[in-house]
Structure 1
Amino acid sequence: MASWRENNKHIRILRDAEAGKYGVIAAIAYNIEQILGFVRAAETSRSPLIIQFFPWAIIATEGLLVRTAADAAARASVPISIHLDHAQSEDIIKVAADGLPFDSIMVDMSHYAKEVNLQKTRELVDYCNQRQIATEAEPGRIEGGEDGVMDTAGLEACMTTPEEVDEFVDTGVDALAPAFGNVHGEYGSRGPQLDFERFNQIRTQVRGRVRLALHGTNGFSPEILKRCVEAGVSKINVNKLVLEDYYEHLHSNAGKMPHTQLFEEGIQKVADQTMYWMEVCGSAGKV
């Protein structure tokens, strides 16, 4: 009998990306227009896609937004998985795993000391795996916070070491989001200062046992993102990169056109910007 991992859509998407040497956009959604825009982009570009949510979406919409995205993914003509990003509460993880259609959950215990982080991660990964849900974790600590994700800037910054890779792989996760100079939120005037030598060491240590995810892409140039994909990143978390045009359109036109037109044009803004980054990451035309 095939392992549940062989049938998990999220794992299949990331394995294909690693084998094909391209990155898959993992886009944060806050409303139905954005979900529709992401799906339209994936189908138009013939690209795989990951739609992801912060825990906020579970609490604020009682899971309705997640179920809407899962329904859209099931109807799509391309592979789309549903992922819970930065789940920092054990209760939220269990609610998500027990009652919502997630293909993958990020077990983010990085706000704890490392030993507690590892222990809790291992326990929660097992909880998710029993329900055939893939998992992601964050070895080291990526500074910053956004949209309900705990801000870790006040904690000791800690880039991922090759030694930590084995410790986190041993928890049973399917993807790792290493800290190599990337931050959640904004980078400031200097822009991203990524340590690719460290990332290469991490990838060597991984030895293909898990996939690698990139967090903290606000303000990235196409050149930086392409370099990350070339270095071996398979999952590309994006927020502002695919939503800036949507919000500019919304702020400029709210109250100046019919709501229906505002929403329809907003969906297309999301789709167009997402398609651009799918081209940059190399996933367009892969399915």
Structure 2
Amino acid sequence: MAVLPERKSSNRTIQILKAAEQGNYGVIAAIAYNLEQIFGLIRAAEEARSPLIIQFFPWAITFWDGLIVRAAAEAASKASVPISIHLDHAQDEADIKRAADTLPIDSIMIGITTRLVEYCNERGIATEAEPGRIEGAGDGVVDTAGLEASKTTPEEVDEFNATGVDSLAPEFGNMHGEFGATDQLDFEQLEKIQKQIGKRVTIALHGTNGYPPNLMKRCIAAGAAKINVNRLVLDDYYIDLQSQVGKVPHITLIKQGVEKVVNQTKE
């Protein structure tokens, strides 16, 4: 089953990222874990008049049975700004196919094989891939050793490019998890990768914890269009939750949490 060109060209993630490339800006791709965060992220995007990508780890499929993904997609479809739904760090083939076949997903970060790229393409779903592994730990992310050794090579870029992926998440000194290291980023390498992949593939930036605004801008200037964030937009939510739980009514806690997500995401 070959994908119709117009079906792939109308993919929301691709449209959002191509517009970012052309406009020389980055788009937040934020992980969400619950409805408060989904609602807060969308409100922030609308108030900031900014596009947004809402991301989920595979547990949103296996634990929630896809329910939270469907809720996010419905809310995104009613938003006044472009918003797409992305499945992040999906390594299990069964999860990838289940998402592609049954859920309102616009894009999936896959365990890379040409066959899985084609499977998603046939269903009009964009794909993202990560050569090697990003150093560090996070939900759905496997640890690796050796920061320098894990950097993306030109050979890996060519290999992944040949599969037909739409976005590439290179390793150039960035780290997943609670590390916040910002002094090992190899911008010369990132710029070389951006030139090597050409115009068809967009660059996704992973491991952004601890990045100050000037560093984020530098990554975008070097070619990053999709900016993955997790705690960067959720820290205030969790601080408020921990300090207020049991002290205010549950409904108040929910409303306060939403406001924390809105304000930090807009910032």
Structure 2 unaligned residues grouped into runs of 5+: none
What's the C-alpha RMSD, in Å, of the aligned pairs?
1.6
Residue 34 of structure 2 corresponds to 31
Q: Distance in 1 between matches of 2:266 and 2:150?
A: 34
Residue 251 of structure 1 corresponds to 242
Corresponding letter in the other structure for 2:27: V
Q: In structure 1, the residue corresponding to 2:108 is in which secondary structure?
A: strand
Corresponding letter in the other structure for 2:223: G
- Structure 1 residues 123-142: aligned runs within 5 Å: 123-142=115-134
* Total equivalences in the alignment: 264
- Structure 1 residues 33-182: aligned runs within 5 Å: 33-109=36-112, 121-153=113-145, 157-182=149-174
Per-residue CA deviation, residues 155-204 of structure 1 (Å, 9 max, x unaligned), is 9942112232121111010000000001111226x545201011011111
Range with greater deviation from structure 2 (55-64 or 236-245): 55-64
Q: In structure 2, the residue corresponding to 1:3 is in which secondary structure?
A: helix
Q: In structure 1, the residue corresponding to 2:246 is in which secondary structure?
A: coil
Contact 1:169 1:209 in 2 (8 A): no
Corresponding letter in the other structure for 1:232: G
**In 2 relative to 1, CA 100–88 (structure 1 residues): closer, same or farther, beyond 3 Å?**
same
Residue 215 of structure 1 corresponds to 206
Any runs of at least 4 consecutive aligned residues in structure 1 with deviations exceeding 2 A, and if so which?
A: 148-157
Range with greater deviation from structure 2 (252-261 or 142-151): 142-151
- Structure 1 residues 252-271: aligned runs within 5 Å: 252-271=243-262
Q: Distance in 2 between matches of 1:227 and 1:155?
A: 21
Whether 2:9 is the aligned partner of 1:6: answer yes
Residue 266 of structure 2 corresponds to 275
Q: In structure 2, the residue corresponding to 1:212 is in which secondary structure?
A: strand
Range with greater deviation from structure 2 (163-172 or 78-87): 163-172
Range with greater deviation from structure 2 (200-209 or 125-134): 200-209
Q: Distance in 2 between matches of 1:254 and 1:192?
A: 37
Range with greater deviation from structure 2 (27-36 or 148-157): 148-157
Range with greater deviation from structure 2 (192-201 or 42-51): 192-201
Corresponding letter in the other structure for 1:43: E
Q: Distance in 1 between matches of 2:123 and 2:222?
A: 32
Contact 1:54 1:149 in 2 (8 A): no
Q: Distance in 2 between matches of 1:87 and 1:107?
A: 5
Corresponding letter in the other structure for 2:127: T
TM-score normalised per structure 1: 0.88
Whether 2:216 is the aligned partner of 1:233: answer no
TM-score normalised per structure 2: 0.95
User: Percent identity over the alignment?
Assistant: 64
Contact 1:27 1:239 in 2 (8 A): yes
Q: In structure 2, the residue corresponding to 1:178 is in which secondary structure?
A: coil
Contact 2:90 2:140 in 1 (8 A): no
Corresponding letter in the other structure for 1:8: N
Q: CA deviation at 1:82?
A: 0.1
Match of 2:175 among 170, 183, 187: 183
Q: Distance in 1 between matches of 2:70 and 2:266?
A: 24
Q: Distance in 1 between matches of 2:147 and 2:99?
A: 27
Corresponding letter in the other structure for 2:157: V
Q: CA deviation at 1:153?
A: 3.8
**In 2 relative to 1, CA 67–153 (structure 1 residues): closer, same or farther, beyond 3 Å?**
farther
Corresponding letter in the other structure for 1:209: R
